Amino acid sequence: MTSTALLTDMYELTMVRAALHSGKAFRHVLFELFPRRLPTGRSYGVVAGTGRVLDALADFHFGDAEIDYLVNAGVADDLLASYLADYRFTGDIVGYPEGELFFGGSPLLQVEGDFAEVVMLETLLLSILNHDSAIASAASRMTMAAEGRPILEFGARRTHEKAAVAAARAAWIAGFGPTSDLEAGRSFGLPVSGTAAHAFTMLFDTEEEAFRAQLDWLGEDTTLLVDTYDVDEAIRTAVRLTDGRIGGVRIDSGDLSTEVTHVRALLDSLGATRTRIVVTNDLDEYQIAALRAAPVDGFGVGTSLVTGSGHPTCGFVFKIVARATSEGPDAPMEDVAKMSENKHTIGGRKFAMRQINGKGIAEAEVIGIDAAPRGDSDDRELLVDLVKGGEVVGAEPLASARERHERARAELPLKGRHLANAEPAIPTVILDSSGQETDNVYQAGAAPTNL
């Protein structure tokens, strides 16, 4: 069994080591993972990575190899090594399920247990959820811009090999179609897709030979890449070889809006009226939106989805929000909060509800501190049980997350669908334990911080 325990920052272990020696390691605590605010220009975010978190948690253990490394590196002493040898998370986790939308201050995960077992998970949780949710948030904007036309995921060659697998999963939750990454297909049961690159065409003495070979291999419903040499000549060749039955053509260069209009007219004039046009070439949500009126049948997206240059980070943080007033399992909890300038946190156990009006449109994210907010029959509670007593209870098929995202995005008001200069689609309302609205230190507009 592969351990995920060293996918963490050293200070998690130095904190546990000091806490063990001071006698505070087993004090009962509640941590919260949340975004202080949405990135500038975003109207919502998408939760992704929860399923990967649950899988990684099951493998979070310290075997002989991990402990030997920590001891030899001077990270662990005998007391910490003894504790790590028996480490298993035995606490509780509640959180937003995958595919759900989030806003500034949304309590995406609440992790409860003793200090040592909870703080140890900080880096693991943040690294998975920050990455996957950033990908899903970008992917959701792209699928919204595509207005129902399929988008293929082509990011494998543009990022770290393991990040590519996780990115394909996150994009699929947000509505992407098949991925080009075979490991993502194997690992998560995603549909896969792929045909040929320019190199395949250039392997042959003529473009016609290359097209014949691909047609023999994949049949007439395949998609031929037509811009290696001359687009018009390639299309005429493709139509002639298939008697107009070629399934699709792909364009990977040029002024796409002008090019696809010309290609559509040419295909129709040759009788290939059912041939699909797929476009690629470093597309993002803005370029996809600009092609709404163009005769494009599908998109392929890679770089702008999987790289940091294509989208902002989520800025999730993991902070302690409550602790037991004394030692012992029955000690009452008290709220705690960080008071640093511009980095305040809100202490206390959170309850979250999406306020929905009678027309099925979201109006607010309502967060109650130490008490659940009162809602109407149309409102939705957002937190679900994920882990109870160390046992995973919130695992679900990936298809459930995809369906949930589609439903949640459909609840957005019109301004939540803006791509450029977007503002949070709905306000985040914070209620104290008496149900009264209180100050929200998680204000929109400023860039998120990870500290």
Taking the C-alpha atoms of 112, 118, 124 and 125 in order, what is their torsion angle to the nearest 10 degrees? Answer: 20
pLDDT at 447: 43
> Are residues 304 and 204 part of one domain?
yes
> Are residues 154 and 301 part of one domain?
yes
In sequence order, the β-bridge partners of residue 352 are: 367
Is-above-0.85 flag for pTM?
A: yes
Which residue did the predictor score with more confidence, 375 or 108? Answer: 108
pLDDT > 80? residue 44: yes
Per the structure, the count of domains in the chain is 2
> Are residues 111 and 256 part of one domain?
no
pLDDT at 435: 85
pLDDT in tens, 189-236: 999 999 999 999 999 999 999 999 999 999 999 999 999 999 999 999
> Are residues 325 and 288 part of one domain?
no
% of residues, the chain, pLDDT over 90: 87
Contact 170, 140 (CB under 8 A): no
Q: Classify residue 316: in a domain, yes or no.
A: yes
Q: Classify residue 199: in a domain, yes or no.
A: yes
Number of neighbours of residue 329 by Cβ within 10 angstroms: 8
The domain spanning residue 20 has which CATH number?
A: 3.20.140.10
pLDDT at 434: 85
> Are residues 171 and 281 part of one domain?
yes
pLDDT at 437: 87
> Are residues 277 and 165 part of one domain?
yes
Average pLDDT over residues 12-41: 96
pLDDT at 387: 98
> Are residues 201 and 284 part of one domain?
yes
**In the structure, what pLDDT confidence band is assigned to residue 443 with cuts at 50, 70 and 90?**
low
> Are residues 153 and 88 part of one domain?
no
Q: Classify residue 90: in a domain, yes or no.
A: yes
Distances in Å between the Cα of 265 and the Cα atoms of 112, 239, 250, 405 are: 61, 13, 15, 36
Q: Classify residue 354: in a domain, yes or no.
A: no
pLDDT at 69: 98
> Are residues 253 and 125 part of one domain?
no
> Are residues 219 and 125 part of one domain?
no
Q: Classify residue 77: in a domain, yes or no.
A: yes
Average pLDDT over residues 233-255: 96
Q: Classify residue 433: in a domain, yes or no.
A: no
Contact 301, 153 (CB under 8 A): yes
pLDDT in tens, 289-313: 999 999 999 999 999 999 877 788 9
Provide the domain limits for residue 176.
147-310
Q: Classify residue 446: in a domain, yes or no.
A: no
pLDDT at 1: 61
Cβ burial 188-219 (10 Å sphere, 16+ → b, else e): bebebbebbeeebbeeeeebeebbeebbeeee
The domain spanning residue 278 has which CATH number?
A: 3.20.20.70
> Are residues 260 and 305 part of one domain?
yes
Q: Classify residue 352: in a domain, yes or no.
A: no
Which residue did the predictor score with more confidence, 254 or 275? Answer: 275
Average pLDDT over residues 266-282: 96
> Are residues 242 and 189 part of one domain?
yes
pLDDT in tens, 400-428: 999 999 999 999 999 999 998 889 999 99
